[in-house]
Structure formats: structure tokens, C-alpha cells
Amino acid sequence: MEKKQSNGLIIFAKYPSKGRVKTRLANGIGDDNALLFYNKCAAYIFNEASKLSNIKTYLFYEQPVDEIKMKEWVGQDFEFRPQLYADLGNKMCDSFKFVFNCNADKAVIVGTDVPDLTAQIIEKSFKLLDKNDLVISPSPDGGYNLLGMNKLHKNLFENIIWSSSEVLNKTLEIARRNNLKINIMDELMDIDNVSELLDWLSKSDEGNIHLKNQLKDIVDLDED
């Protein structure tokens, strides 16, 4: 009998506290509006994850003391785990290691600030891993917002300057050096600052129109 595959979706999230989330965005639109953006976008991502079938969702939250608050806030039947380590690369590597140790055959990681990410895109990334070692969705800023693999490749998280424009190219360079078969998915925007938010909102007839309409009402861009 053929073994049924197990898929694990990893979501990185913070508990939404004023001044702790989307700090670069807050520099342009204020802490209150940045918090509202984070809440809306994160809730959307959680809802998309809840639509997935045959995929277990693991939510890795930033502060161990936030576990109860995170469960109440998210309101979904995910597995909750604290993020370990301070370095983002180590955090991601540890989360993949945990999910693969839970007998997952494939794992994909995403964040909570990619408002055009959909359940269909996530499902496609898992399907692409049937014939690829690595799937990755680039961000316009030189990073990536989705990464998937069918076994842990620790070196993809080493010797990279995180939150820099070299993240994507460095990751692809390491993957190619290790002869990994890569599928580069369509680019999606993750929103970290006002410029990116304005750019995303300006494409009013593309992507997540419902969320764009909500955010146009709650974000006072005149503060920039």
C-alpha cells in the first residue's frame, strides 16, 4: 500500500501588540495603522490556511509567553510552537527541522504580510515539490515570501544577511551549488514599508481586491 504523504505548512507570526509589529511600516503610517494592517493581513493568511486540505498548519510565534494569547487571537486549529533562536535563518531552519521530525514529507514556510497569497498558491507549492527539491516565491525587494522543500537543507539558511536585497540570489546560489532542482514561482509582494504598501494598493484591479478595499479605509496614508 502506497504511503500517504504528509504536508506541513509553517506560518511565522507575532502577537499583534502596538509597537511590536510592522515597525518599518509604522514609521510612515503610525503604530495604530501598522497594527491594523498587521491584524487584517494576518487574519487573511490564517483564513487561507484554514481552507487547505491534507496539510497540517504549524504556527510558530515569536514570544513563548504569548502562547495563550496567540491561540485566542488566531482562533484556528493549528499546532502552536514558539520560535527558537534570535537569528531568522536559525528560526526557519529549526521550524523546518521540527516539521520534518513530525514525519512531514514536504514543508512550506510563509509569513503574515503577503496579502496576495492564497490557499491555491500554497497548494500549488506543495504539488510542485513532487518534482522539485525546492520551491520559492520571490519578493520585489530581493527576498522571498514562500519557501518549500521535501527534506531539510540546512545550508540554505547559513551565511545570508537577512532582510537584505541579497537573500533570494544567495539562497538560489546555495541551492544550485548543491544541485537542487528549483521551481521559482510567481513573484508576490510582502509589505514592510509605506512605499510597498502604496505600490500594492495602486494596483487596485489586481490581487486581493477585498483586502485592498478594507485597507484603503483603515490606513491613513496622509501620515507619510
Confidence (pLDDT) at 127:
97
- Crossing angle between the packed helical segments 209-218 and 31-50, to the nearest 10 degrees: 160
Distances in Å between the Cα of 221 and the Cα atoms of 27, 188, 204, 207, 213 are: 12, 22, 15, 20, 14
- Identity of the amino acid at 29: I
Q: Please identify every stretch of the chain with a pLDDT value under 50, giving residue numbers as ranges.
A: 1-2, 221-224
* Res 213: pLDDT: 86
pLDDT of residue 185: 98
DSSP state of 121: H
| pLDDT of amino acid 203 | 82
Best CATH choice for the domain 7-223 from the list 2.10.109.10, 3.90.550.10, 1.20.120.1200, 3.40.50.620: 3.90.550.10
pLDDT of residue 202: 86
What pTM did the predictor assign?
0.93
Q: What is the pLDDT of residue 4?
A: 55
Domain boundaries, the chain: 7-223
